[in-house]
Amino acid sequence: LTLENQLRRAIENEEFVLHYQPKINIESGKLVSAEALIRWNDPLTGLVPPGCFIPVLEETGLIHEVGRWALHKATEDYLRWRATNLSAVRIAVNVSPLQLRHRDFVNEIGQVIGINTHAAAGLELEITESLIMEDVMHSIVSLKAIRAMGVGIAIDDFGTGFSSLSYLSRLPVDTLKIDRSFVLDMTVSQEGLALVSTIITLAHALKLKVVAEGVETEEQLRLLRILNCNEMQGFLFSKPLPSESFETRFLASP
């Protein structure tokens, strides 16, 4: 069986699951959001990470169907959390550039949130920097329409995609996520620290929120706090968790 056919069967058998990784407000220490990260629960081999199958979903066009499922599932989980908790934890869903480029994507987002304004306010899309830039004019049009519905937009892996700074100021986005390679270098060299500091200053000058990815040490967190980074995500706080564990650990009412 080719991987493509295995994936078609996985879609039929509903074998995809979403894990959630918390994002923490650095100033308050509070949980503010959860990033949905897809896994394939293959009955033969167990959990398969997205790096192993997202490229094949993209090559075969199956990404549209699986991406739509992820958006609906994450929104459903979000609305359930919201119904059972007073805390307003947002939810972030990764979106393939192929999805963003699809003619129907803006409509699809409209269908996902429906008439539920809570869903729109709670939802954020994460889009990789390099791929926004590949088709920047079309990206701007689509992202504007999505943002007009109240959905947030984050640029993922920021710093790795050579964004033109002139476009950065024109992109309709709310958040920059600093790629974890920069967070790693921050405690290794003065140059690494200077880069993170500069990215945060730039983001704030453009009125964007900044999230640091891959935070693994107290030292990284200490420096990010000094630099006024807004949110952090990483193994220091929690790895991505199955939704039941995420709910028990972070959302269970006392």
Binding site for ligand G (CB under 6 A): 21, 37-38, 49-51, 54, 67, 70, 94-96, 126, 156-157, 180, 213-216, 234-235, 240
Closer of 157 and 247 to ligand G (Cβ): 157
- Which one-letter DSSP state was computed for residue 204? H
Closer of 27 and 235 to ligand G (Cβ): 235
Q: Does 156 bind Mn ion (CB under 5 A)?
A: yes
CA geometry: angle 235, 192, 241, nearest 5 deg: 10
Closer of 74 and 119 to ligand G (Cβ): 74
Q: Does 231 bind Mn ion (CB under 5 A)?
A: no
Closest distance of CB 190 from Na ion, Å: 24
Judged by CB under 5 A, which stretch of 125-133, 168-176, 230-238, 239-247 contacts Mn ion?
125-133
Interaction partner, residue 216 (Mn ion, ligand G, Na ion, none; CB < 5-8 Å by kind): ligand G
Which residue's CB comes closest to Na ion? 157
Interaction partner, residue 22 (Mn ion, Na ion, ligand G, none; CB < 5-8 Å by kind): none
Q: How far apart are CA 122 and CA 34, in angstroms?
A: 10
Asked if residues 101 and 133 have their Cβ atoms less than 8 Å apart, the reply is no
Q: Does 126 bind Mn ion (CB under 5 A)?
A: yes
Mention every residue, 6+ apart, whose C-beta is less than 8 A from residue 78: 89, 90, 91, 119, 122, 123
Which residue's CB comes closest to Mn ion? 126
Residue reference for tokens 């003619």: 103
Interaction partner, residue 243 (Mn ion, ligand G, Na ion, none; CB < 5-8 Å by kind): none
Q: How many residues make contact with Na ion (CB under 5 A)?
A: 2
Interaction partner, residue 129 (Mn ion, Na ion, ligand G, none; CB < 5-8 Å by kind): none
Closest distance of CB 178 from Na ion, Å: 9
Contact set for Na ion, span 146-185 (CB under 5 A):
156-157
Q: How many CA atoms, within 13 angstroms, populate the side-chain half-sphere of residue 205?
A: 9
Q: How far apart are CA 239 and CA 216, in angstroms?
A: 10
Q: How many CA atoms, within 13 angstroms, populate the side-chain half-sphere of residue 63?
A: 21
Considering Cα of 149, then 243, then 182, then 219, what sign does the dihedral take? Answer: positive
Closer of 120 and 176 to Na ion (Cβ): 176
Interaction partner, residue 173 (Mn ion, Na ion, ligand G, none; CB < 5-8 Å by kind): none
Interaction partner, residue 97 (ligand G, Mn ion, Na ion, none; CB < 5-8 Å by kind): none
Task: Please report which helix (H) or strand (E) contains residue 110, including its range.
Answer: helix 105-113
Identify which of 145, 82, 74, 152 has the alpha carbon closest to the alpha carbon of residue 112.
74
Closer of 85 and 209 to ligand G (Cβ): 209
Mention every residue, 6+ apart, whose C-beta is less than 8 A from residue 66: 11, 16, 38, 57
Applying CB under 5 A, the residues found at the interface with Na ion are: 156-157
